[in-house]
Amino acid sequence: MKFSTVLATLAPVAFVAATDYTVSVGDGGLTFNPNQITGAAQGDTINFQFKAKNHTVTQSTFASPCTQNGIDSGFMPVAANATQIPQFSVTVQNASAPLWFFCKQTSHCQQGMVFAVNPTPAKTFAMFQAMAMGQTAAANGTTGGTSAGSSGTGTAAGGAGATGSGSSAAPSATGKSGALPKLSFSSSAALLTVAGLVAGLSL
């Protein structure tokens, strides 16, 4: 009887799996591929995979495409013969707030290396990229990397609706003491947890 009561209570609960998107950074040129994602929902994750050379995923605003304002992966130098690809992930927290990103390497943004999440008809990706290409190169870029590996986390500025974290394939020479690992659950793990709970209650 307890088992059927618990199942009846849990029946209305639905598990919705978040979508994972993969974006290549600098694969074959100064590009994000794809250069935009539309229809991203709250909880979806965008995994930026850095290819050869040295790029960033840096948040900006629509009005200032090449100025940092929020999440920043930091520079991710990758050798041409690298066997492991560093990744930086951004989780969408507010799907109704478009997110705007660029590469802060010297002149990359001004050459159109930008990315958008959920652009709107009033603020399209094409408009954002055109504004970026109309700006002069900022002084905050660099032409070379000094890091053999890096990791970081960040929060979007102004409640823009995302959090980010990432790590490179190469080990970092420095670290943070007391840092906690990121914990995540898949929908199948959640179902197994519920099944275990139900089985325990029926005993």
Instruction: List Cα–Cα distances, 74 to 3, 4, 7, in angstroms.
Output: 51, 52, 47
Which domains does the chain show, CATH number per domain?
1-17+186-203 (no CATH), 19-180 (2.60.40.420)
172/25: higher pLDDT: 25
Percentage above 90 pLDDT, the chain: 56
H/E segment holding residue 88? strand 87-92
Question: What is the band of 44 on the pLDDT scale with cuts at 50, 70, 90?
Answer: very high
Q: Model confidence over 114-131: pLDDT tens digits?
A: 999 999 999 999 999 999
142/140: higher pLDDT: 140
Percentage above 70 pLDDT, the chain: 59
For residue 182, pLDDT over 80 is answered with: no
As a whole number, the mean pLDDT across the chain is: 75
178/89: higher pLDDT: 89
Question: What is the band of 52 on the pLDDT scale with cuts at 50, 70, 90?
Answer: confident
User: Which pLDDT score is estimated for 14?
Assistant: 52
List, in order, residues 6 or more apart from 121 with CB less than 8 Å away. Answer: none
Span 57-85, average pLDDT: 97
User: Which pLDDT score is estimated for 15?
Assistant: 58
Is 170 exposed, middle or buried, given 0-12, 13-18 or 19+ CB atoms closer than 10 A?
Answer: middle
Q: Which two tokens stand for residue 117?
A: 């999440």
Question: What is the band of 136 on the pLDDT scale with cuts at 50, 70, 90?
Answer: confident
Is-contact 85 76, C-beta < 8 A?
Answer: no
User: Which pLDDT score is estimated for 178?
Assistant: 36
Q: Which two tokens stand for residue 110?
A: 């001004």
Give pTM, 2 decimals: 0.67
Residue type, 148: A
Report which DSSP code applies to 179. Answer: P
